[in-house]
Amino acid sequence: MPSDALVRPRRPRPRLTPGRACLVLGLAVLTLALVELDARSGLGPGLAALIGTPDEATGALVLHFAWWPRLAMALLAGGGLALAGVLMQQVLRNPLAAPTTLGVASGANLALMSATLLAPGLLGLGREWVALAGGGGAMALVFALAWRRGLAPVVVVLGGLVVNLYFGALSMVLLLFHQEELKGLLIWGAGSLSQNGWQDAAFLAPRLALGALAAAWLLRPLAVLELDEAGAKSLGVSLKHLRLAGLGLAVFLTGCVVSVVGIIGFIGLAAPNIVRLAGARRLGARLVWSTLLGALLLATTDLLLQRFSGALPTLIPTGATTAALGAPLLLWLIPRLRLGGEAPPREARAIGTRHPAPGRLAIWLALSLTGLAVVALLAGQTGTGWHWAAPTDWELLQWRLPRTLAAAGCGVMLAIAGTLIQRLTGNPMASPELLGISGGSAIALMGAIFLLPAPDNLTLVGAGTLGALVTLAVLVGLNRKSGFQPERLLLTGVAITALFDAVRAVVLAGGDPRGQQVIAWLSGSTYYVDLPSALTVTGAALLLALAAAPLSRWLDILPLGGATATALGLPLARSRLVLLLLVALLTAGATLVVGPLSFVGLLAPHLARLLGFSRAGAHLLGAALTGALLMVLADWLGRQWLFPEEIPAGLVASLLGGAYFMWGLRRL
């Protein structure tokens, strides 16, 4: 027998394709729907309730006015969000772009909260119109910020992120002080498909059909955006107006869906990425398959939720369930999907200009930080008004010193972590919490708060550390074979973060009184920090900052792409792993003390670039000083603004830094 006959040929593993994924989900929707109809009234009466006028039987009325409209709404909303996600990712050239990226959802949420508190009469005109106006206003602000730069993708992305964070911070401030009045909006904010008639489906269907026709009409022009900017301009294409048309259409689709069903964020991000990574490369194929996959994914999730809702102790919104079920699916798919090569990012040019003397600028920032720390320690309001404390007034200093140290230390750690991850991935939308480290820590902390009887601080720190370690293990395990390729790394983090968002939405929508403590922690508060914790986080920040300094050469080379880095002698996989571990340590350390601060890690590196810090070493130093300065100022203002009430430092940092960043973008 020939020796090669003993070697069995290896069977090729069936490759996932968009068609197969849609077929599986379509069969799941059909099966679940038939089982549900059979359990309710039988297949015949169930179908009759859809196509005919129901009789007086309660079951038929429920099917006609609630169950069938809900299924139709799930299909419409999922398809619309996925279509909007494809358009945004195509125009912005970024796989992390999603319908919720550019502030539409946060603008709609803020408009509804403001109307509920200040002008409830507006809600009588229709909640969907208030939400649509809020989303449109947010997007108009993003367009205004980026118009002078021709709606360049990197400027639109950064403008959308800062508007999203800014409006989200305003919404969280309103929620902190009016939680009872806004409790109903928490369910809407987590995505709810409950229906009591066909009016919402009738409102949404023609608008989505119009959006789909417009997308088909823009198909060929939008395909030009796959070229570089010079190539597109050589074809005589007006990039500004083409981007405006593509983004405007995506915003219109998103606003229509969000105004009716609330915020369902995961579909618009995951469906286009799954379809693209499964082999749909051309824009037309991605539009069609993503729309189908998004519709079927949301419908499957909602049918499963309805099937098992009776066994659940509380009302769980569909948007949260979609992320909770879709995130493990994405985690399972990522190692099985083929990603692109190690090409450098398409939009590598940074914002801002290089400062001629970054060292002198860093000295000014350090002096400003020192002066601000002195003010934060000695100046403030007491029960008798404004008071300037003496340096020997230990009664006040023992309360203010831990908070100032913790704010500065966490600002340094998150800013450095944000700089590392943005340079590692070459993606301006990357941030420390996007890797899922802070999300894993947050899930473990919330689990300890809700499952353990009166956990102490040591128990919470232990739970949070365990959650961060488990998340890091998942990241390393799923990305080790790929050499920690940036796109795969970010998608893994997106899936883990989606799980965190789902848990948070369920916790807040449940109405549990402990949710107030969770909200305060999520907002980034230093209220519970004691002196040992503050000294620990400050020391950790200094040590990790010193550890990051020698890595500046790696950070200058990695944004050029994997091939260039390898040609220059950089150990690609090892350098990425070291940077990933450092980001994990920085993020976990800050999250355990003050919570998952979204703003500092995301925009402090960009603020440093706006100031003129360009090279990696100077960028790390500038981001660290900027993050510390912003957090110390935010913590002090949060204590004084509404004294004796407090606004968490994370929210104040978003408001202050967001305003400055929008001003800086507008001047570019």
Closest CA to 87 of 277, 209, 206, 219: 219
CA-CA distances (angstroms) from residue 340 to 95, 194, 281, 434, 561?
12, 40, 11, 20, 12
pLDDT averaged over 10-residue windows placed end to end, the chain, 668 residues = 45 63 85 81 75 66 82 90 88 76 79 82 74 82 79 75 79 75 63 78 89 89 72 67 84 82 78 80 87 89 75 59 70 62 49 74 91 86 74 75 90 90 77 76 78 75 80 80 73 75 67 64 72 87 91 83 77 83 84 73 84 86 92 87 77 77 69
Tell me, yes or no, if the two domains 66-336 and 421-623 fold the same way: yes
Dist. CA 52–CA 239, nearest whole Å: 50
Calculate the CA 402 to chain-centre distance: 30
Q: How many residues does the chain have?
A: 668
Residue tagged 């020391």 (tokens): 539
pLDDT at residue 1, rounded to an integer: 44
Dist. CA 376–CA 652, nearest whole Å: 15
Buried b / exposed e along 18-39 (16+ C-beta atoms within 10 A): beebbeebbebbeebbeebbee
Tell me the pairing of strands 385-388 and 379-382: antiparallel
Question: Could you tell me the two tokens for 567?
Answer: 């040609």
pLDDT at residue 10, rounded to an integer: 47
pLDDT at residue 55, rounded to an integer: 61
Residue 645's CB is within 10 A of a number of other CB atoms, namely: 10
CATH ID of 66-336, from 1.10.3470.10, 3.40.630.40, 3.40.50.150, 1.10.760.10: 1.10.3470.10
Question: Could you tell me the two tokens for 582?
Answer: 């450092």
DSSP H or E segment with residue 388: strand 385-388
3-state secondary structure of 382: strand
3-state secondary structure of 387: strand
3-state secondary structure of 218: coil
Question: Could you tell me the two tokens for 614?
Answer: 């360009």
Q: What is the DSSP letter of 386?
A: E
pLDDT at residue 528, rounded to an integer: 74
CA torsion angle 72 77 80 86 (round to 10): -130
Q: In terms of pTM, does the model score above 0.85?
A: no
Dist. CA 328–CA 492, nearest whole Å: 10
Residue 364's CB is within 10 A of a number of other CB atoms, namely: 11
CA-CA distances (angstroms) from residue 275 to 290, 325, 519, 664?
6, 17, 35, 37
Strands (E), 480-631: none
CA angle, corner 190, sides to 187 and 193, nearest 5?
Answer: 75
**Domain 421-623 indexed as CATH 1.10.3470.10:** yes
Confirm if 592 and 373 have CB atoms less than 8 A apart: no
Residue-range domain boundaries for the chain: 66-336, 421-623
CA-CA distances (angstroms) from residue 172 to 103, 176, 188, 526, 655?
15, 6, 15, 16, 11
Dist. CA 663–CA 87, nearest whole Å: 27
Question: Could you tell me the two tokens for 498?
Answer: 């989606």
CA-CA distances (angstroms) from residue 290 to 19, 79, 300?
10, 7, 15
Dist. CA 601–CA 613, nearest whole Å: 16
CA-CA distances (angstroms) from residue 196 to 61, 66, 109, 379?
10, 5, 22, 56
